[in-house]
Amino acid sequence: MRWGEPSTAPPTRSFGVPCDTSVPLSQRLSLTHRMQEQAQERRLVTVLFADFAGFTQLADQMDPEELQVLVSGIFEDLAEEAVANDGTIEKFIGDAIFVVFGAPVAHEDDPQRALRTALGMQRAFADHATRVMKERGIELGLRAGIHTGMVVAGSVRSVAEYGVMGDTVNTAQRIQAAAGPGEIYVSQASFRLTNREFAFREVGPIEIKGKEKPILVYALTGERSDGRPVIDVAAPLVGRWMELSRLDLAYQSCRLGHTEVVLVAGEPGIGKSRLLSEFTGLATASEEGTKTEGPRVMRWTFSRVNQRSYAGFIEPLLVELGVDIAAADAQTKLGERLGALGFANPLMTVPILAQFLHLPGAPEPASESEEWKRSMFLSVYDVIAAMARGRPLLYILEDLHFADAASLDLLWFLASRASRVPILILLAQRIGPGAPEPRPSRTNFTQLVLEPLSDEEAARIVEATFDWIPDELRDRIVARAGGNPFFIEESLRSLVESGAIARDEAGEWRLRDRPSVLEVPATLHAVVAARIDRLPPTARECIQLASVIGQRFGDRVLREAGGNHLADAVDQLIAADLVLEAAPGERREGRYRFKHAVVQEVAYNTLLVRRRAELHRRVATAYETVIGENELREFYPALAHHYLLGDVPDKAVDYSWKAAQRATAIHAYVEALRFADQALEIFEKLRRIEQAVEALYLIARVRRYRGENDGALAAYERALVLLEERDPNAPAVATLLAHMAELCTRWEAKHPDLQGIIDRGLRIVDGKRTREKVLLLAAKSFMARKRPKVTDADWTASLATAKEALAIAEELGLLREVSLCLDAVGYAYGELGNFHESYTQNMRRLPIAKSLQDSDELIDAHTMVAVASLVLGNFSEVIENAVTATDIASETEKPRLAAQALQVESLARLLSGDFPGTMDAA
């Protein structure tokens, strides 16, 4: 039931008129009484009183029940305005509403919230007043009073009721009583805190009951629409000369032809980006006027949202190569650029690089090909190394704590492979949980942890920014900043924007008030929130929409989602130094970016949950509208993110699934699992069982690639439960059981009833000659390895089963399964002591394994050839195959398989008398 509809339920509290309580206010307004049984405390709050002028005349003419419907509807709209600005509704008194801002939850901009609420109430009330005038001929008006001051807040009257008491409450009520219909009166205390954002006319001193002297009040007329002036506050770099020297040492080493990696770590706002920007400028300037060409700079800043796989490399490479992803001849241009970089045969590199860069016409990579990932990484390395040959390359990756796992994999691959190439990789990340750990590499690695500035250094920033500032104010800023340069700079900007500091006629900065009355916010988030709150309404709405889009945002999406008027306000955000034009290497994903991740986080957190959901939906629709079909697949992660937070499950799951498939295809396995898990959860909620099973198959496959065999088995078991609900003997169940059997017999996953799985699968496939039967028979042949006591008879039976499976696989032309069955046949021959036949079967298997582009199969094939050769005494062949297996396992990050091959190599070297080689292998 909506407010405004008659209710038969008895009211739970009296407001002077009957009030609909079918949806109690205490339940709808979550902050009103959440602080029950709290101890009393003094708090600074802003109080809003509003009541109806003309209510008595209306009550005389209307039936009580009709009056209830009207008043309840009005109260609902007024309450919505209060809740929208996080106000706490203290009570309703007759025809009045009493709202508190700052208790039980305080915000730095509580006075502003109160004024916005009052303006919103006037707009909402106007619709009701117009209808009453038309229907009843009675003029209604809303009058409001606002005052800021100290109150006692907490449990009042009883432990079950939270409230506020004090002279501030009485003053606000009496200011409201002095206002005329349609007017909002504001006390001087509230006026002083809000006059930069709101427009007023001075009413003058008024006498109110309980005050010995008249008090000055102002009439609120609206929010200011004029933009803020550009604030020229540029804090100098202070206290980082040692770090700059360390960076310069790494750069000089880079110039001599060495690869260097430097990681700069620190808390938010400590100056990581500023340090790297200052150093980059110095490195570039140092080459000016010389014959040496300055360094090539490639840069990327990772973002918490909308992050695509390999984003840290795709975007900078596209810009540096000068390739337009939307152009039909993009692959031709790529070949030309590779030729200019010195590639002898660029056409060999173009196909795989085109896949990596998502160029038009590039085929999707094979989803189960580890070889593709190795080739892709090597191709990217070759291109970056070629770019560094002519002049040193600075590759800068910021906000590494937000990096996608695929970019991190490629980063550490490049760092491990390069050593004699003039590349300086500069990384910046926050300290704390979630920060990626550096991986060992052959390159020189340096870590710089930025400590907070000393009080003396912080004071130098303040004094260098303003020619003159009182010691008292400087010391308060320094004390609050805790050595954080970004906090200092934002605090100084906040003082300028609030009008507390302004230039005089001579252009010098001067205080406009005593230092003792100026407020310096206590936290970095608070000072950024204060700056956002002082933006004009359109600019504030613009930064909120931009924060929903992400750390980087484009003009097209912003305009489509918010309209031209709102998008034009981005210039005000740039003028306020909250938003910057993105670097060239970042612009394809967005023309603009937030100056600091904290700014985006604070702007996003100002949005109410329901407003966030609405904006996420608008942003997702904007992406679909402005992004062409050829490029849309690159934005699957963004669309999944926005539709998920926009509460559109059908679209969220479709894009999540597409993102999972795309990430799997390019071996971005962490992202693949994240999106597949996300899709799976929604598939199950929507009861889309077939798609849920498909998602679980993908999860199992990816976990298998990553060596997480028990995790893969868990995904299969979860899929089995879903399939069995429909038909426990369906062919799909047999397929699933076959995959589980192979996983447990070949790759060491553990199931308590493995024999039961195999037997049940074989019963379902019965006499059919299918791929499922091949997998189940091969698993059955391997089962002898898992028994505690095995006889030759057992292995003879296993050999017969393996040969049966091999015959079906060859009949069906299943190459991967042929390799699997040859493995089983060779293994059984070995256990029976027929090592020559074991060697023969594994040699048959080797060329098939090479054709599959499956690193696990290839490593295992080389290892088994090495094992068979070892028994036969062919030590050179053992070492050749074992070394090959070890190299592939190391490159594809499979340490367990590498260790097995290395063990065989060590034994062969030992038996052949190569003791130094044995020590090296061990």
**How many distinct structural domains can be found in the chain?**
4
Q: What is the pLDDT of residue 1?
A: 26
Q: What is the pLDDT of residue 786?
A: 83
Please say which residue of 513, 531, 549 terminates a domain: 531
Three-state SS for 96? strand
690 assigned to some structural domain? no
Centre a 10 Å sphere on the Cβ of residue 22 and count the other Cβ atoms it contains: 13
Rounded-to-integer distance, Cα 175 and Cα 194, Å: 17
255 assigned to some structural domain? yes
Domain span at residue 261?
241-449
Q: Which tokens in the block code for residue 691?
A: 């798609």
Q: Are 416 and 521 in a shared domain?
A: no
Give, as one character, the DSSP assignment of residue 604.
Answer: H
Three-state SS for 289? coil
Q: Are 321 and 421 in a shared domain?
A: yes
750 assigned to some structural domain? no
pLDDT digits (tens, 9 = 90+) for 445-497: 899 999 988 888 888 888 777 766 778 788 888 887 788 888 888 778 777 77
pLDDT digits (tens, 9 = 90+) for 276-301: 988 888 888 766 545 567 799 999 88
Which mean pLDDT values do the consecutive 10-residue runs of the chain (922 residues) have? Answer: 32 34 41 40 82 75 75 86 89 85 77 92 86 79 88 60 80 91 88 75 81 83 60 66 89 91 90 88 67 82 78 89 84 92 88 87 65 85 91 93 89 84 93 74 83 87 74 81 82 75 69 60 71 86 94 90 91 88 62 84 84 94 87 88 95 95 88 94 94 96 89 95 92 94 88 93 91 95 87 94 96 94 95 94 94 87 94 92 91 84 89 78 63
Q: Is the link from the previous residue into 104 a cis peptide, with omega within 30 of 0?
A: yes
Rounded-to-integer distance, Cα 511 and Cα 522, Å: 20
Rounded-to-integer distance, Cα 316 and Cα 627, Å: 20
Beta strands 579-581 and 592-594 are: antiparallel
The residue type of 350 is V
811 assigned to some structural domain? no
Q: Are 198 and 255 in a shared domain?
A: no
Q: Are 123 and 265 in a shared domain?
A: no
Which residues fall within 8 angstroms of residue 291, CB to CB, at 6 or more apart?
Answer: none
Indicate the helix (H) or strand (E) that contains 301. strand 296-301
Q: Are 493 and 400 in a shared domain?
A: no
The H-assigned helical ranges of 137-195 are 167-178, 188-194
Q: Are 203 and 246 in a shared domain?
A: no
Q: Are 175 and 267 in a shared domain?
A: no
Q: What is the pLDDT of residue 22?
A: 42
Q: What is the pLDDT of residue 34?
A: 38
Q: DSSP E strands: which ranges in 369-508?
A: 393-398, 423-430, 444-449, 501-503
Q: What is the pLDDT of residue 803?
A: 96
Angle between helices 485-497 and 455-465 (to 10 degrees): 30
Q: What is the pLDDT of residue 712?
A: 95
Whichever domain contains 341, its CATH number is: 3.40.50.300
Residue tagged 């898992």 (tokens): 786
Q: Are 422 and 474 in a shared domain?
A: no
Q: Are 443 and 459 in a shared domain?
A: no
Whichever domain contains 913, its CATH number is: 1.25.40.10
Residue tagged 């710089």 (tokens): 448
12 assigned to some structural domain? no
544 assigned to some structural domain? no
Q: What is the pLDDT of residue 225?
A: 60
Q: Are 382 and 264 in a shared domain?
A: yes
Q: Are 397 and 524 in a shared domain?
A: no
Q: What is the pLDDT of residue 3?
A: 29
Rounded-to-integer distance, Cα 847 and Cα 859, Å: 12
Q: What is the pLDDT of residue 634?
A: 83
Whichever domain contains 168, its CATH number is: 3.30.70.1230
823 assigned to some structural domain? no
793 assigned to some structural domain? no
Q: What is the pLDDT of residue 36?
A: 37
Give, as one character, the DSSP assignment of residue 921.
Answer: H
Which residues fall within 8 angstroms of residue 14, CB to CB, at 6 or more apart?
Answer: none
Q: Are 384 and 307 in a shared domain?
A: yes
Q: What is the pLDDT of residue 641?
A: 93
Q: What is the pLDDT of residue 856?
A: 86
